[in-house]
A and B are shown apart, each in its own frame.
Chain A
Amino acid sequence: MLAARVQLPVALVVGGLFLLEIIVVTFGNIITAGRKGGDTPQAIAQAGGNVQALGEQLFTRWLLPFEIASVLLLVAAIGALYLAKEDL
């Protein structure tokens, strides 16, 4: 079998890459969990309130995910209409 012969070297390469990633994440000082961010209640109040800050972030930094989510909702609506047809 070709797959059985190829499997071991591919598994070794992938496993080595994951080990390298674990080492980099563990010792590379890139973990941000537990660090406090800058969006304190005072900063949010200065930006004009929670909804204002949220909307501004949503339409600037997260604009592409927002558009993708809208396309996903459109696809879901069309798919639901197709699945709910009388003569499926």
Chain B
Amino acid sequence: MHPPLEWYLLFSGALFTIGLIGVLVRRHVLVIFMSVELMLNACNVALAAFGRYLNIIDAQEFVVFVVAVAAAEAAIGLAIILAFARHKNTIDVGEMTILKE
């Protein structure tokens, strides 16, 4: 009836790998941002699966809080990208070197 725990973990690992490859390979900053969110949600899937497996409902509460924090992070990240795009007129990650100076 329900899939076993390993399937959820495989799915979570696949999502995390896709996000990691996206962060490492892509050059567009918005795509990198989406890949980071993908990795975060992969961890959420694993947390919920373990909570269901161990019969602990607190895991789902933590998933709710992680989603809330991810929303805050997405808002701040997009605002930073917007400010950077206004400042430099580009969003290529190769140009993001102002913290090195």
Binding site for B on A (CB under 8 A): 34-41, 43-44, 50, 53-54, 57-58, 61-62, 65-66, 69, 72-73, 75-77, 79-84, 86, 88
Contacts and interface: CB of A to CB of B under 8 A. Distances in A.
A79 B55 contact: no
Interface of B: 54-58, 60-61, 64-65, 68-69, 71-73, 75-76, 78-80, 82-83, 86-87
Contacts of A66: 65
Contacts, number: 70
9 contacts: A34-B54, A35-B54, A39-B56, A54-B61, A62-B65, A73-B71, A76-B76, A80-B78, A88-B83
DSSP majority for the A interface? Answer: helix
A83 B76 contact: yes
